[in-house]
Amino acid sequence: MRGPLLNLFILLSLGLFAQACGRPSHVEGAPRFVKGQITTKGSGLELSVDRRLTRTWKDYDGDGLADRLDADIDNDGVPNLADQYPFDGSKSGEDADQDGIADFIDLGVGPHKGFADLQQDIFARLGIVVMLGDDRFTDEEWQTLHATLFNEALLLKLRYDELAVIVRYSKEEQLGLARAEFDPYWKQISFFPNEDHLSNARSFNGSLVHELGHVHAAENPQAFALFEAGFANWSSPSLYGATSAEEGYAENFLHQLVLSGAVVVDMKRFDRVN
């Protein structure tokens, strides 16, 4: 059994053990969510960035899935980051306009009302909450997000049932040089400020479609398994795609869409190949 799969098996086993122990009566301290991470007040321990290397095991809702891997910790149907009360399934949060997006992240009741219609349209039609962390998407990025998520070629490939949240974080919360990352457990794409993105919408679109390639892999595990089996003999269109089967699958997803003319991205990402 491969290392990551073995680790995931261990995680799920521990989650089932937590379920057998019963739901805890309370959670100490207020939750702090950073890129899907949870820090428990009093411990001072921020859990591992990699879900497969989690060091703390809790299962608040008793669904057999450790909190570190659970996109909905209180099991109320609202993703953790979009949930005003992530540890209380009886509260859905204030929603003045009754559009399904809680006021605390709803652009319609916040300072960035210009794109409230796009936020609401994406949520209403795809069930995806686009929200701001400690930074905001630019005007071009909002337009690109909306246009790409509803791109006809992508709608034929994606069900979007493995994507619940798209969030913009600040530079301070960036991991290394990552421009964006997809978390398959929290069903979340996180974006970080990047000079290329801010000055070039096509560069931002390349990162977005690449991350959607990870979503496609999550929705089609058998297709990914076949790709992974042949990865050693696959010729990547970019250096980044050659780093792992996961990144190769996402980069191939993007490249095929570019070759078909379905999406337009900054082609510099394909200038250097292995």
| pLDDT tens-place string over residues 190-210 | 998 888 887 889 999 999 999
Sequence-separated (6 or more) residues with CB below 8 Å from residue 218: 162, 182, 184, 187
pLDDT given for residue 248 in this prediction: 97
What are the structural domain ranges in the chain? 3-70, 107-270
Q: CA 228 to CA 235: how far, in whole Å?
A: 13
According to the model, what pLDDT value does residue 39 have? Answer: 40
> Which pLDDT tens digit goes with each residue over 47-67?
444 444 444 456 777 777 767
Q: 5-14 — which CB contacts under 8 Å span 24+ positions?
A: 7/52, 7/53, 8/52, 11/51, 11/52, 11/54, 11/57, 11/66, 11/68, 11/69, 12/64, 12/65, 12/66, 14/57, 14/66
pTM of the model: 0.79
Residue 131 pLDDT > 50: yes
Average pLDDT across the chain, whole number: 79
Give the residue with greater pLDDT, 38 vs 267: 267
- The pLDDT of residue 162 is 96
CA–CA separation, 17 and 57 (whole Å): 10
Across the range 38-49, mean pLDDT stands at 38
Whether pLDDT at 123 is above 80: yes
